[in-house]
Chains A and B, each alone.
Chain A
Amino acid sequence: SQELEQSPQSLIVQEGKNLTINCTSSKTLYGLYWYKQKYGEGLIFLMMLQKGGEEKSHEKITAKLDEKKQQSSLHITASQPSHAGIYLCGAAGGYNKLIFGAGTRLAVHP
């Protein structure tokens, strides 16, 4: 079965700093989803990547999919306290479900 490993598990940064979160799959990625979760809330969809080499950006968040390496990275530029939360990567685990990594917990200190 497919597994996703996220690194780092947790991250504390100063406001304004850049950061990167990685997601590595045990199998070839055919679709990779990034979600953000705040404590006690559901998952908020950020981006979906499907093609090798694809890169998408939304505001200060950029995600890339490197299909050859079975990896995706999420990069945040000039982090803000509003970026704090848990970032989850999910892979299409078949026709109908997502398989998630354990998440990366991000704290941004003013």
Chain B
Amino acid sequence: GAGVSQTPSNKVTEKGKYVELRCDPISGHTALYWYRQSLGQGPEFLIYFQGTGAADDSGLPNDRFFAVRPEGSVSTLKIQRTERGDSAVYLCASSLTAPVNEQFFGPGTRLTVL
């Protein structure tokens, strides 16, 4: 399939551990977004990449969160010293270009911090 893929689909970790979440966008999509969805809520914006650069990281909650997209395709969201409050579904989306147009979402990674 040619959709957005995310790995792993589920991740269980212990408080204080480091985790990496991966996103493979649709080929040719230059814009990539990360969102976080808590139970019973809509997705909340974290960070936006245009190409290799993070054009807007205003949604990252604190400096424990970091994301990269070194070659302008695959992106990795990194969370240091995980806390129980980080438990959520992390969604990745991509689009052809910005400004905002149709964003195609991946299935998400469900992160559980024990």
| Chain A interface residues (CB < 8 Å from chain B) | 4, 31, 33, 35, 40-45, 48, 88, 90, 92-103
Contact = CB atoms under 8 A, between A and B. Distances in A.
Given A42-B91, A48-B101, A97 B33 contact: yes
A96 B34 CA distance: 11
Contacts, number: 71
Interface of B: 4, 31, 33, 35, 40-45, 48, 50, 55-56, 59, 91, 93, 98-108, 110
Contacts of A97: 33, 45, 48, 56, 59, 100
11 contacts: A4-B42, A33-B103, A43-B105, A45-B102, A88-B42, A90-B42, A95-B56, A97-B33, A97-B48, A101-B42, A103-B41
B4 A42 contact: yes
B103 A98 contact: yes
